[in-house]
A and B are shown apart, each in its own frame.
Chain A
Amino acid sequence: TQLLEQSPQFLSIQEGENLTVYCNSSSVFSSLQWYRQEPGEGPVLLVTVVTGGEVKKLKRLTFQFGDARKDSSLHITAAQPGDTGLYLCAGGGPSTDKLIFGTGTRLQVFP
Chain B
Amino acid sequence: KAGVTQTPRYLIKTRGQQVTLSCSPISGHRSVSWYQQTPGQGLQFLFEYFSETQRNKGNFPGRFSGRQFSNSRSEMNVSTLELGDSALYLCASSSNYGYTFGSGTRLTVV
- A and B from one complex: yes
Q: Is there contact, CB below 8 Å, between B102 and A101?
A: no
Interface 9-mer from A19-27, A37-45, A56-64, A76-84: A37-45
User: How many residues on the B side are at the interface (Cβ–Cβ under 8 A)?
Assistant: 21
Q: Is there contact, CB below 8 Å, between A33 and B103?
A: no
Q: How large is the interface on A (under 10, 10 to 19, 20 to 34, 35 or more residues)?
A: 10 to 19
CA of A42 to CA of B105, assembled, Å: 10
Q: Is there contact, CB below 8 Å, between A104 and B33?
A: no
Counting CB contacts under 8 A, is A88 at the interface?
A: yes
A67-111 CB mask vs B (1 if < 8 Å, else 0) is: 000000000000000000000101000000111111110000000
Q: Is there contact, CB below 8 Å, between B104 and A33?
A: no
Counting CB contacts under 8 A, is A30 at the interface?
A: no
B60 to chain A, nearest CB (A): 13
Q: Which residues of B contact A88 (CB under 8 A)?
A: 42-43
Task: Say whether, besides A97-B48, A98-B48, A41 and B103 are in contact (CB < 8 Å).
Answer: yes
Q: Which residues of B contact A51 (CB under 8 A)?
A: none
A32 to chain B, nearest CB (A): 11
Interface 9-mer from B11-19, B62-70, B74-82, B90-98: B90-98
A37 to chain B, nearest CB (A): 8
Q: Is there contact, CB below 8 Å, between A98 and B45?
A: yes
28 A–B contacts, CB within 8 A, in A order:
A35-B101, A40-B103, A40-B106, A41-B103, A41-B104, A42-B92, A42-B102, A42-B103, A42-B104, A43-B90, A43-B99, A43-B101, A44-B101, A45-B98, A45-B99, A48-B97, A88-B42, A88-B43, A97-B55, A97-B56, A98-B45, A98-B58, A99-B99, A101-B35, A101-B42, A101-B45, A102-B42, A104-B43
